[in-house]
Structure 1
Amino acid sequence: MFTSIDYDKFRALRVTHVATRFEELIRDETNDTLTPEQLFLTAIDYALEQRRHSRIEKLIRQAKFPIPNASVAELDYREGRGITPVRMRRYAAHSWRADPTNLLIISPSGGGKSYLACAIGIAACLNEHTVTYARMDDLARRLIISRSDGIAHQRLLNELSDVDLLIIDDFLTVGIDSDAASDLFAVLANREHRLPTVIASQSGPAYWVEALPDRVAADSIVNRLANHSRTINLGRVDMRKIRDDTARANKEHWE
């Protein structure tokens, strides 16, 4: 069996997981019929899968989803929601780096757009894409604050420009100032034809043009978002009310 000196060597090579799993397999009498090569390759596969799980957990953590357990598998497909299992499975398996088409998720308040955006984003992380989730008001605040430090500001713009999938939720639910709009234009211009952006909003492109502070910048921003995009209209089903009513129906619920 391996000694502590051996494990120091494994750590230096960053293959500790391989060595640990290999030793476990050797000690398991049910593997006596397998060759050392087979056991070693099994240990390699195990270590690679562990690394993959660690990368995915890190991607989900870094994305900062407000609903970290959102799942495409748990979506509600009742009539009127404008989504189907087949369509959502396509989004769950989508290669975002290979397709820069944007996605617009439109619904009134309570329609479940934030949950859907998180579910799609988490599925992207499971496929090992980098994802950034941001609510529009928080993102605008971060952009404005970072302007006091030129290096930090440029770093933030670069991060938003280069992440595989950028998700902006509650888009223009509240207004943004001209500086934030200018930064948003820069990010979207950098992403155009390269990387996709998901927009979740209570309103559509026609309203966005009117709500943005500068008409020229507004036309450019909305043009980049809407003209090369897919759209999910979630309809008017109030999922928040349905969820709350379901919770109240539970015999353990109290108020």
Structure 2
Amino acid sequence: MLTHPTHERLIALGLTGMAKAFEEQRRSPDLDALSFEERIGLLVDREAAERDTKRLTTRLKFAALRQSACVEDVDLRTPRGIDRAVFARLVAGDWIDRHENVLVTGATGLGKSWIACALGHKACRDNRSVLYHRVPRLFEALALARGDGRYGRLLKTLGRVQLLILDDWGLSVLNAAERRDLLEILDDRHGRASTIVTSQIPVEHWHDVVGDPTLGDAILDRLVHNAHRLQLTGESMRKHKARAHALDAAANT
């Protein structure tokens, strides 16, 4: 079938979704039974869906989530101390509108990063801006930015994003520059945006990680007082999955 001039005009106007739907309608005789309004409605719906997909792709690329995680895939059956009602409220995302934080703590292997990235992915789907950083590499990036003049721009990006994910917090005691950097980030975001923090260290020991009583009070006051907490417990999910795979393999032999 030859390309229709209307199809080319739609492409030229940037209406790729409508262009695709227009060609599909031309190839489908069954659509002749639809009214003019119904066929136009299908074109508009396809364009809207195409634009939503492009926006989501752009948001996910900017977010740079470490895990390809979705909230629908979070395992709530394995005992990890996750309250289903609390998790459902976090998935709904109203806490982001209220500029509240989420603290996910627990031993290694329990899926802290997965849960954080799943909530980040859901926020992207809800048309919110998200940015993921592992804390050690973020401090390295800030140190480099301070040396080449990008420090202010990077802090502005970290401050403006609607949901910032800080993964692997507390792997080592902060030095003086890192304490100042973290306070700057959290001060910019306090009462304006939401932050997810994951850590192997219980919240009650975070003062020790900051390494300075005064700055520790300032940092934790901006992070903890309005935060929802997920304290994960139980067996490592990696061990659980490895054992499940072993049992499946044994059953298939």
Calculate the TM-score normalised by the size of structure 1. Answer: 0.89
Counterparts in 2 of 1:9-158, with a 5 A limit?
Answer: 9-68=9-68, 70-78=69-77, 80-95=79-94, 97-150=96-149, 152-158=150-156
CA deviation after TM superposition for structure 1 residue 16, in Å: 3.0
SS of match in other structure, 2:140: helix
- 1:207 matched to which residue of 2? 205
**Whole-angstrom CA distance in 1 between matches of 2:175 and 2:104:** 23
CA deviation after TM superposition for structure 1 residue 13, in Å: 2.2
Note if contact 1:81-1:235 (Cα within 8 Å) is conserved in structure 2.
yes
Note if contact 1:96-1:164 (Cα within 8 Å) is conserved in structure 2.
no
SS of match in other structure, 1:251: helix
SS of match in other structure, 2:33: coil
For each residue in 1:9-47, what CA deviation from the matched residue of structure 2 results, as whole angstroms up to 9, or x when unmatched?
333421132133123224421111212222112111111
For each residue in 1:202-235, what CA deviation from the matched residue of structure 2 results, as whole angstroms up to 9, or x when unmatched?
1133322122133222111111111111111112
- 2:168 matched to which residue of 1? 170
Identity of aligned residues (%): 30
Note if contact 2:165-2:196 (Cα within 8 Å) is conserved in structure 1.
yes
CA deviation after TM superposition for structure 1 residue 7, in Å: 4.6
Rate the CA distance shift 1:162–1:222 in 2: closer, same or farther, 3 A: same
Q: 2:179 aligns with which of 172, 175, 181?
A: 181
Give the gaps of 5 or more residues in structure 1. Answer: none
Calculate the TM-score normalised by the size of structure 2. Answer: 0.89
Note if contact 1:169-1:200 (Cα within 8 Å) is conserved in structure 2.
yes
Rate the CA distance shift 1:79–1:11 in 2: closer, same or farther, 3 A: closer
Mean Cα deviation higher: 209-218 or 161-170: 209-218
Q: Which amino acid aligns with 1:60?
A: L
Root mean square deviation, CA, Å: 2.2
Give the gaps of 5 or more residues in structure 2. Answer: none
**Whole-angstrom CA distance in 1 between matches of 2:106 and 2:226:** 20
CA deviation after TM superposition for structure 1 residue 4, in Å: 6.6
CA deviation after TM superposition for structure 1 residue 127, in Å: 1.2
Rate the CA distance shift 1:99–1:28 in 2: closer, same or farther, 3 A: same
Q: Which amino acid aligns with 1:54?
A: K
Query: How many correspondences in the alignment?
Result: 250
Note if contact 1:62-1:132 (Cα within 8 Å) is conserved in structure 2.
yes
- 2:192 matched to which residue of 1? 194
Mean Cα deviation higher: 7-16 or 36-45: 7-16
SS of match in other structure, 1:32: helix
**Whole-angstrom CA distance in 2 between matches of 1:32 and 1:5:** 20
SS of match in other structure, 1:173: coil
**Whole-angstrom CA distance in 2 between matches of 1:84 and 1:30:** 49
**Whole-angstrom CA distance in 2 between matches of 1:57 and 1:85:** 29
